[in-house]
Structure 1
Amino acid sequence: MVKIKAVNKAIPEFSRRTAEILPFLDSWLHGQEDRFVRKVKMIFENAAVDQRYSFMSPEEVFSSITFEERNNIYISEGIKLGTQCLRGALQKASWLPSTIDILITVSCTGIMIPSLDAYLINNLKMREDVLRLPVTEMGCAAGVSGMIYAKNFLQANPGKRAAVVAVESPTATFQLEDFSMANIVSAAIFGDGVACVLLSSCEEDEGPAIIDQGMYHFFDATHTMGFNLTNKGLKMVLDIDVPDKITQHFPAIINPFLERNNLGIEDIDHLIFHPGGKKIVQVVESLFGIYGKNIDDTKEVLRLYGNMSSATILYVLERFMNKKINKGEKGLMLSFGPGFSAQRLLLQW
């Protein structure tokens, strides 16, 4: 069995409550029509995000610093926080860095070559033969994707350990001269965050077991979510049809996956869902609510931190790892990302 040993998060230096962001909007939207300004502020106020954290100060976010400067902050802060987060996870697990056999890093909000894992190996003095797997361009789904890759490696290699580290700075992708709804909604719901999950196929390690995993791909939906690389940075692509797409595909995403494990939604005790945004949360909440299930922890992570892309699902998972959960209870991890795709993990405590 592959088990989840520990989850840890690292909080970026800068933070603001939504009410504190509104004055920055006045400066950014200066010269726009009053009606448009009111609409933008309403989007921020109704995004179900009370606070967000970032690698850079709000003054830097809402400034004309270049793509290069933003990316350099993503690199320096990502290395610092990634190192801090992985070190903290290892301490939680009482593992030495040298016991990690595969290191998987996931990110989509900046460009770094060598990839983050190379820096983590150096900073924590990990083994020279540790395997590296940087996962990029999978967006919000990559936290679960990284866990799926780790699980497959560990299942094929008993007695090994893996670390998955997610580092994301969506604020580094903010476009100062872009007044599209995609850029505005992105700014309203996203924040920066770093998280790490440790997994093991060692007999002596305890934790909830991953009993199944799977990916589900939506055909002809590559246009719905992602980034366009422009001269001024990564420009958000976010189609308004995403919630409807999820609703349409939801039975095909969930039911066959559970049925092959002789389960139904009614058998799932804990829903560990990625909070893509208020509308997606409401869609999923209504779909699960029919069965008397809730995604309260998902909503709370969105409220406290915003959507941190791939790291967010690990923030939700940490909340469940910190609870006293009865042996035998089951959890379903679910996240969505560019492609368009859904990533799923079935857990059992």
Structure 2
Amino acid sequence: MSVKITSVAKQLPKYTRNTKDIIPYLNIWLSGQDERFRRKVIKLFENAGVDRRYSIMDAEDVFTKTSFEEKNTIYSKEAIKLAEYSLIKALEKADLKPNDIDYIITVSCTGIMIPSIDAYLINNLKMKQDIVRLPVTEMGCAAGVSGIIYAKNFLRSNPNKRAAVIAVESPTATFQLDDFSMVNIVSAAIFGDGASSVILSSYENEQGPKIIDEAMYHFYDAETMMGFKLVNTGLQMILDKAVPETISEHFPKIVHPFLKQNQITIKDIDHLIFHPGGKKIVQTVEDLFGSLGKNIDDTKAVLKLYGNMSSATVLYVLERFMDKQLPKGDRGLMLSFGPGFSAQRILLEW
């Protein structure tokens, strides 16, 4: 029995600005800092590979000192809206109703909610009362792919069922106003907010790329490379500058054995559906695969248009491929990285 991805749909927050329009706010924020440091930060934003980003808060609110409670309250309210709108869009694309879903996975790491987002979706959309819930909260950028893997495993054991995976993230809600570290600044330069929903099905007559295989890869002794530290002012970003180099070192072990167990090589992959973690990671991936005649143009486009939206970002890349009506038999490799440190992989066939 095959499991297919039948639709993907994104939802963007209402506030948006070009990167060049954020520079005046940065200048005010950095007004007490050394001039050389200020120029370095501005240049970092301008060269981050992100032209525009979206947010659950306007720039004035992002650069206003607020408590963790105030930011998390905005996150909770807006995350529910974004999740609901993206799920409705994905259901409409698949010609389904909310009560056609049997399994719901919600993914987010940029705020704290109990009950989780899925509980609100079930109530707001009057989904099945016996729907199976799974909130995924602590896998960061990898969780969009992780959620699809969990859904696939559920559907593989349950014929004629459907699952929804909803990823909602607001990295701007984690921005630390009093933190002038390069980690806080780099994360502000590359991250944006967004949501995306994916519908999967184990009905034989429903159309979409099949999930041929999936796997996770865990890096040893790398727990401190990426994540959040819970401080009094919220979720403080942890981001080691060695992440791109570490990914590059592990890439052969992440990609080639996974493909080999499916009796194919990278030459047999038509489409690379990669999470754009940031400009350096994108360049690392491009350097590794460009010589093989592969491109990650869609990954670069998503970073440029929206920034890194943590778990939701790779789903934005996937939606671009879903909208292309690819030829039957085309293969795609989905890949994302996240705290742990880990890599999540999915092999798709159209």
Per-residue CA distance 1:95-146 (angstroms, 9 max, x = gap): 1111101000000000000000000000110010000000011000000000
Residue 257 of structure 1 corresponds to: 258
Q: Cα offset for 1:13? A: 0.5
Q: 1 CA distance for matches of 2:213 and 2:204?
A: 18
SS of aligned partner of 1:294: coil
Per-residue CA distance 1:218-244 (angstroms, 9 max, x = gap): 000001000000011000000000011
SS of aligned partner of 1:157: coil
Residue 90 of structure 1 corresponds to: 91
Q: 2 CA distance for matches of 1:326 and 1:203?
A: 19
Aligned structure 1 segments of 4 or more residues deviating by more than 3 angstroms: none
SS of aligned partner of 1:38: helix
SS of aligned partner of 1:220: coil
Q: 1 CA distance for matches of 2:127 and 2:119?
A: 10
Q: Cα offset for 1:80? A: 0.9
Q: Which moved more, 1:335-344 or 1:90-99?
A: 90-99
Q: Cα offset for 1:324? A: 2.5
Q: 2 CA distance for matches of 1:228 and 1:59?
A: 25
Q: 1 CA distance for matches of 2:88 and 2:294?
A: 35
Q: 2 CA distance for matches of 1:95 and 1:267?
A: 33
TM-score (normalised: structure 2): 0.99
Asked whether 1:143 is paired with 2:144, we answer yes
Q: 2 CA distance for matches of 1:291 and 1:163?
A: 34
Residue pairs, 1:1-349, within 5 angstroms: 1-349=2-350
Q: 2 CA distance for matches of 1:329 and 1:134?
A: 32
Q: 2 CA distance for matches of 1:81 and 1:123?
A: 13
Q: 2 CA distance for matches of 1:97 and 1:196?
A: 13
Letter of the structure 1 residue corresponding to residue 9 of structure 2: N
Per-residue CA distance 1:25-58 (angstroms, 9 max, x = gap): 0111111000000000011000000000000110
Q: 1 CA distance for matches of 2:348 and 2:175?
A: 35
Letter of the structure 1 residue corresponding to residue 105 of structure 2: I
Q: 2 CA distance for matches of 1:316 and 1:63?
A: 32
Q: Cα offset for 1:150? A: 0.2
Letter of the structure 2 residue corresponding to residue 320 of structure 1: F
Q: Cα offset for 1:158? A: 1.1
Q: Which moved more, 1:78-87 or 1:160-169?
A: 78-87
Q: Cα offset for 1:88? A: 1.1
Per-residue CA distance 1:142-171 (angstroms, 9 max, x = gap): 000000000000001111100000000000
Per-residue CA distance 1:310-337 (angstroms, 9 max, x = gap): 0000000000000021100100000000
- Listed as ranges, the gaps of 5+ residues in structure 1 are none
SS of aligned partner of 2:211: strand
Q: 1 CA distance for matches of 2:119 and 2:32?
A: 45
Q: 2 CA distance for matches of 1:58 and 1:122?
A: 32
SS of aligned partner of 1:108: coil
Q: 1 CA distance for matches of 2:284 and 2:57?
A: 32
TM-score (normalised: structure 1): 1.00
What is the aligned residue count?
349
Q: 1 CA distance for matches of 2:7 and 2:290?
A: 29
**Aligned alpha-carbon RMSD (Å):** 0.5
Q: 1 CA distance for matches of 2:339 and 2:297?
A: 25
Q: 2 CA distance for matches of 1:25 and 1:52?
A: 15
